[in-house]
Structure 1
Amino acid sequence: MKNINPTKTFAWQQLKNHFIDIKNIQMKDFFNIDKERFSNYSLFFEDEIFLDFSKNRINYETLRLLFMLARECYLSNAIQSMFLGDKINKTENRSVLHTALRNQLNNNIVVDNINIMAMIKEELKKIKKFSNSIINGDWKGYTGKSISDVVNIGIGGSHLGPYMVTESLKYYKNHLNIHYVSNIDGTEVVEVLKRINLETTIFLINSKSFSTIETISNADYLKNWCFLRTKCKEYFTRHFFALCENITAALNFGIHDKNIFKFWKWVGGRYSLWSASGLSIVLSIGFKNFESLLYGSYMMDQHFLHQELSHNIPVVLALISIWYTNFFNIETEAIFPYDTYMHAFPEYLQQSYMESNGKSIDRNGKLVTWKTSPIIWGHSGTNSQHSFFQLLHQGTMFVPCDFIIPAISHNSVNDHHEKLLSNFLAQTQSLAFGNNIDINSKTIFNSIISNNKISYKYCPGNKPTNSIMLKKITPYSLGALVALYEHKIFVQGIILNIFSFDQWGVELGKLVANSIFNDFFKKNINNSYDSSTEGLVRIYKKWSNI
């Protein structure tokens, strides 16, 4: 994998000049110049996902230069390196092989002289057998009753990915109730305990390292809480399971070796939903649907791996994002799924994007002079339209947006879906064109400027969006969509010359938190704190009588 400063490439310099030429062109002019713009700036993924990127402030020259930038940064070589298992996570000396978890070929992928495909298939067999026994009622709790509830205890990728998928695929849900405990705030675990029956609940301790303080603290509490109420040694064996890479830590915690489901060092936490970390997904929708999820992501992998850059959906979306972030100097991008089932998708992508590419040190060990990850945010439509869309239309911020919607709804209620879709289309049109032009020869507002004053109704438009339409939200299409965004993030990291697969900034906060936690129970406070932190610790100790 090459370590290239993107700003030193020929393409970057040409893009800077091109930006001067294009920055003031209005969206309407792009469409007037190219009558076939919609078909020229759109792509299909099979018959499942359609991307319309015509409502962007780009033209053929923009794309030509962006593709040149990708080639100058040896993007295709980097893609091959990831799929082959090269140790592209240099700071941790690890391969990055979440793609292997969904690999459908019978080929070998070797990491440290081990064929990992054999391990993956063996673990999938174990997951299938266990999930079927839970779903079919064959696995019994300590009193002989079948399982009705599942509690996933995890945080970060061990929570956000599984939670997002189980919510997005709720239409496919079986009879099991799935709960999630992530926060170390005691309120969350207490509220979950109010909703479950210990006789019919299993707990999944979901932590790659099996040392994450939030997860292990919650697991410890639940372990003790359950034992105090059941007074049964067998309870732990029948009801507690570990999803982890650190087998020794799970065994030391007391998990029975047959209750441990493995994933591996080359699986990043935020890419782990495809592994045993996604056991709550399997228990929610069944193994067959989980296989379909894996197959959809695999097919997007193949698209990403083999499709030429100009027709490669993750590459196109990544390059457009780099264009806005580094040339228009935008600070933020928004994601709007127009489907209630997908309400957790923006939050899931926040971690995927910002933990991956929220970096300021390049792969050469130097501070970057360019922008890396934008701030990612969003919410489901049409709720968003009645809260913060005002800022998108008339505010001073420039926010590129992805709009996501299924063409076919799982729940046809009157004409609700047609109204939802009309709002989806209206928002992207209004953001692009505003109300100061004729659209199809129909004037929306006849007078925007009168008496030298701009009407308060004025919406300038020229705000870019991508429209992503899924045929229907299925395990297959969701798998493909999630993989699409994973690869988009990867492309941005490669071109921006940063390491996308570590998160050292997260580790700093953990170290400091441990130090502060220990000081809560000492008479003297650590003198190395700043006055603000020290003052807050003192106030807490006074108010809580520690």
Structure 2
Amino acid sequence: MPAAFSTEIRPLTEVPEWDEFAKQVPLADRRASSLRVIKAASLSVDLSGQVQSPELEVAAEALLKARHFEQARKTLFEGGIANPTEHRAAWHTALRSGEPPAEVARERQRVIEFARKVQSEGRFTSVVHIGIGGSDWGPRLCVRAFGNTGTRIRIRFASNIDGHAVQGAVAGLDPHKTLIIVSSKTFTTTETLRNAERAFDWLRKGGVENPKDHLVAVTASPKAAAAYGAKPEHTFQFWDYVGGRYSLWAAIGLPVALAIGVDAYEGLLFGAEAMDKHFATAPLADNAPVQLALAGVANRSVLNYGSLNIAAYDARLVFLSSYLQQLDMESLGKSVDLAGNPSTVPTGAVVWGMAGTDAQHTFFQWLHQGTDGAPVDFIVCREADHPHPEHHRLLLANCLAQREALLQGKDFDAALAETKRMTKDPEEAEWLARHRVHPGGRPSTLIVLPRLTPYTLGALLAMYEHKVFTQGVLWGINPFDQWGVEYGKVLAAGIGRELDGEAPGTTHDVSTAHWINVLRT
């Protein structure tokens, strides 16, 4: 077995420092009685609403030491084998470094020069970006966040294999003025290549004589892209040490540079690099990703919260919860530790969410009074970029109010005082009061951005990356592989052949066999 971060892997419940950490969590304050705000790369991270106490802080640092966190972090930043099951580095930090490896610097400059060339020539006015998962969510999030401002190029995305996705992406565009970006790490992704075929069919039907002249490939497999028909000058590379969900910082960010501008693309890198420096150097007690990770482990593995809600109070961040859902759940959705043994504590929470204030009218009732509840990451900008201050004041008020209600709750006596003013019937007042009790003490974090800019968004995303990494270290799992996803792909390929009429290659369960037969005929 390859050494994972050069540490001895033990089940978490066999680590004495875990016992102390788990003992201190339920004893800690859960109602924000002490202010606890960390400054990190222009972000303010308020952890006052997470469990906290001096004893818990001591136990947390002891647990990090016992799990060899410092060595793990060093391995990550130096490009060592941080992904032992695939014997690879996970060196996404190199992609946004101010002093990157030569190959990274070269590709970064090629992306910038190509984006500027396309923007200045004016030949292409539209881009259709075809990718899925990590090749899609990052560019989609950024383009939506910054509204296609700054250039004359509009961009659409096609990810889902459902034919409606690619059909909708090309609808109404001029084929002669549309660039097709195909982003795939291996350049074998079924959904991506099938959607690309449909896009090139559309170009041909639109009278484009040489459709592959409109192709731009972004991949870690340039030979596969060349075999597909991509020209070398239109092929942009990243590397095996970059996981798909960590690839926004590589050439996967090309759509951002095209649709928003090179300054925005570089701003994302600068913000992420600033967070990298914070994560690498800040003391553990004042290290935002580390403290977010400790709160996440406490909530999931001790307090038994099964999910984490992302409530971004900025309509431009509508895709943030989806981006973080992939980052977190694909990384931490593991039940086996690095030694190959079953995890002895719950790991990998469900991540979900919606932009506020829409979320308040959708699921906040469950957050406030449901039997389970969930920790919430509230994200808000101190300043807006629109000329409507009253709207922003109401947005801020809603964010702070919802968080306070989750933290402080409302006890029966307070509820009863309210209902007694509503009815003179004592029994009815007590009955109504029971419906108005809020338990409170539900954990949350408030993350405040000065404004939503490429720099602050880059810092925010990098902070979550490092949080996920740190949780992986604490749980003793590998956050950089995704064997469950790979297994599903293998099964889908075989079933696809059967739906085309080939004989079954494997034995299926009765339900799957039934529907293969029905859908084939």
TM tier, shorter chain? over 0.9
1:219-273 CA distance string (max 9 Å, x none): 122223312432513x422x11100011111111111111101111111100000
Say whether residues 1:187 and 2:164 are aligned partners: yes
Tell me by how many angstroms 1:208 deviates: 0.7
Are 2:417 and 1:446 aligned?
yes
For the residues of structure 2 that align with 1:228 and 1:447, how far apart are their CA atoms?
68
Match of 2:178 among 175, 180, 201: 201
* CA pair 318-456 structure 1, distance change in 2 beyond 3 A: same
- Asked whether 1:323 is paired with 2:303, we answer no
Name which of 43, 53, 64 aligns with 2:38. Answer: 43
1:445 CA displacement: 6.2
Shift of 1:403: 0.2
Aligned position for 1:460 = 439
Q: Which residue of structure 2 aligns with residue 495 of structure 1?
A: 474
For residues 30-69 of structure 1, the C-alpha deviation after alignment (integer angstroms, 9 at most, x for no partner) is: 62xxxxx11xx111125x2111111123322222212221
Q: What is the percentage of aligned positions where both structures have the same residue?
A: 33
Tell me which residue corresponds to 1:476: 455
Residue 158 of structure 1 corresponds to: 135
> Which structure 2 residues correspond to residues 527-542 of structure 1 after superposition, within 5 A?
528-542=507-521
* Cα distance in 1, alignment partners of residues 502 and 262 from structure 2: 54
Tell me the secondary structure at the aligned position of residue 55 of structure 1: coil
Aligned to 1:432: 407
Aligned residue among 118, 124, 127 for 1:134:
118
Query: CA offsets, 1:460-499, max 9 Å, x none?
Result: 2111110011110111111100000000000000110011
Query: Which contiguous aligned blocks of 4+ residues in structure 1 show a shift greater than 6 angstroms?
Result: none
1:60 has 2:58 as partner: no
Out of 231, 240, 265, the residue aligned to residue 215 of structure 2 is: 240
| Residues 19/295 of structure 1: CA separation in 2 closer, same or farther (3 Å cut) | closer
Maintained 8 Å contact 1:148/1:177: yes
Which of 131, 149, 152 pairs up with 1:175?
Answer: 152
**Which whole-Å deviations, capped at 9, do the CAs of 1:384-431 have from their partners, x for residues lacking one?**
001110111111112000000001001132500000000000000011
Q: Which residue of 1 aligns with 2:423?
A: none
Judge conservation of contact 1:171–1:410 (CA < 8 Å) in 2: no
Give 3-state SS (helix, strand or coil) of 1:408's partner: coil
Offset, 1:154: 0.1
1:50–1:169 CA distance, 2 compared to 1 (3 A): same
Aligned length: 507
Shift of 1:371: 1.4
1:521 maps to 500
Contact 1:400 1:465 in 2 (8 A): yes
Task: Give the gaps of 5 or more residues in structure 1.
Answer: 32-36, 106-115, 140-145
Q: 1:16 aligns with which of 12, 22, 30?
A: 22
Is 2:51 the counterpart of 1:74?
Answer: no
| 1:90 partnered with 2:84 | yes
Amino acid at match of 2:194: S
Counterpart of 1:143 in structure 2 is: none
Alignment partner of 1:390 out of 365, 368, 376: 365
2:60, 2:519 → 1: CA distance?
Answer: 53
SS of residue paired to 2:266: helix
- CA drift at 1:218: 0.8
Per-residue deviation, 1:522: 2.3
Distance apart, 1:325 and its partner CA: 0.5
The aligned residue for residue 102 of structure 1 is 96
Structure 2: state its 5+ residue gaps. 421-425
* C-alpha RMSD over aligned residues: 1.9
Cross-structure match for 2:315: 340
CA distance in 2, matches of 1:526, 1:503: 24
Q: CA deviation at 1:290?
A: 1.2
Distance 1:236 1:470 in 2: 42
CA gap of 1:172–1:303, structure 2 versus 1, over 3 A, is farther
Structure 1 length normalisation: TM-score? 0.89
C-alpha distance in 2 between matches for 1:50 and 1:16: 27
Shift of 1:192: 1.4
Q: Structure 1 pair 330/211, CA: closer, same or farther in 2 (3 Å)?
A: same
